Amino acid sequence: MSIQVTVTRDVEAQNLHFDATFPASSKPWTLQLPTWRPGRYELANFAQYVMWVKGIAADGSEARLSKSDLHSWHVPDGVNRVSWLFHADILNAGSTCVESDLFYVNPVNCFMYDVSRPELSFEIRLADLTLAEGEASGWDLATALPWTLDEGVPVMRARDVQHVMDAPWVASPKLWHDSYREQGVDFHVWVHDTLPADPVRFMSEHVAFTRAQLSYFGSFPAEEYHFLYLFPDRDVRHGVEHEDSTVIALGPAERVQSEEGHMEIIGIASHELYHAWNVKRIRPAEWTPYDFTQACPSELGYIAEGVTTYMGDLFLFEAGVVDLEGWCGLMTKLLERHLNNPGRLNMSVAASSFDTWLDGYRLGVPGRKGSIYVEGAVLAFLCDCRIMALTDGQASLSTAMRLLWERFGRPRTGLTASDYWNVLAEVAGEPLDDLRRHHAEGTEDTWQPLVEAMSTQGLELSKHVDTKGLTRVSLTPQNPPAPPMA
């Protein structure tokens, strides 16, 4: 059984109209709009963009729906069709936006579902969009959702609510597309409007970091994967991971043409691809499966985002996209952010992860908390170096992540902190209890452990305080230099 959803646009008003027919229910049910989106662990209040919601009875008359809470509606017995209007004027990597040349939807912002029947599949008809199959001009559709054309109208399908909420789409007459194939997997790159300065380099570096990540994990979780790029004319920089795709936004658009902007894009892309394994499959138990009805705090953000931040940059080095000097530059920026945040000494990265739902995506009270991205990445580096030291370079954090993929990610079994640290201990040959106690669940200073860890990689770490009172660090290769990963 499936939910039949028809989507139409009012471009001038920047609204989306949804008309959804649900399989018949013999009792009242709850219509739910997600309260948050995976990849950003805070309540999003998407209901503020819903202009109205209407139930439609079997005879076509309007049926009144009453709100159950801020993000759900009570649907009376016998009403199986619902329509609603969603305002779509925000353009970033996690939003929904309708413009004259852009039809961009993150279903988790604006799709509703029957909370008692999350297993229902979705059939999504983009009724006012016509695609001419085989033509080089006109609109195109970029998405990881399977789709077909019905008399030129695209019809997409999702297996259940978990699938549909994690599968954005971008439609536009200004989509550039290229693709490559690695280990039997098709990788698609879609760019809206503004092309990078060097598309050939852009694609070759995608191939390089994809190949490097695949070589460590041994297999990819999907048959195809889509990179969806948006380069708007305003300041934005982030990416959002999805089950079989990612949306990456960088702006203003001219920033994309610079060397710095290019490297930002490639860095985000490597980070987001790593998420295909880590967090989309190797996922904290609190998010397995996603519960879109409420906040779902977890202390494991340092694994979901910290490990990914560290590994995303490290695989740029492994792939040859950056050299040792380039990797040291990335680590220098990371360490300076880490050392200049006094919150790391006040709240552990595990506790900071739990509290992302309060203030994880804004400055908040100065000195209160750490960052799951920054402090989490520093911890991942310390774990990586410790494992390599204990195994004479025969194993690393990547070895542990591959085991986690096989044991937890592939079967989609929720991960606990004990699961993670037990696998690291198995790979290292002994527990890493001090790192867990002091730097994951504690707030001890990391400077001396960082100096020692860098030394094991043939790098000398030093620091000084600048005229503004900020800590600055230097990474200098020792003789002989060693790469930062075995």
What distance in Å separates the CA atoms of residue 247 and residue 444, rounded to the nearest whole number? 36
Q: What does the pLDDT look like over 124-162, one tens digit per residue? A: 999 999 997 655 458 999 999 999 999 999 999 999 999
Give the residue range(s) of CATH 2.60.40.3650 domains in the chain: 2-173
- Following DSSP, what letter does each residue of 231-256 receive, concatenated? --SS-EEEEEE-SSEEEEEEESGGGG
What distance in Å separates the CA atoms of residue 486 and residue 482, rounded to the nearest whole number? 9
pLDDT of residue 478: 87
Architecture of domain 174-275: Orthogonal Bundle (1.10)
pLDDT over 70 (residue 105): yes
Task: State which amino acid sits at residue 270.
Answer: S
- Tell me the CATH number of domain 2-173, given options 2.60.40.3650, 3.40.50.1000, 3.40.47.10, 2.30.180.10: 2.60.40.3650
Which tokens belong to 40?
């950003």
Residue range 360-364: mean pLDDT, rounded: 88
Give the residue range(s) of CATH 1.10.390.10 domains in the chain: 174-275, 277-486
Band (486; pLDDT cuts 50, 70, 90): very low
Contact at 8 Å (CB) between 460 and 328? no
Short-list 14, 37, 103, 30, CA closest to 65:
30
pLDDT of residue 480: 52
Instruction: Give Cβ neighbours of residue 12 (< 8 Å, ≥ 6 apart).
Output: none
CATH superfamily, region 277-486: Neutral Protease Domain 2 (1.10.390.10)
Short-list 250, 198, 207, 209, CA closest to 228:
250
pLDDT of residue 28: 96
Q: pTM of the entire structure?
A: 0.96
Residue range 392-414: mean pLDDT, rounded: 98
C-alpha of 316 from chain center: 18
| Averaged pLDDT of the chain | 96
pLDDT of residue 485: 52
pLDDT of residue 360: 86
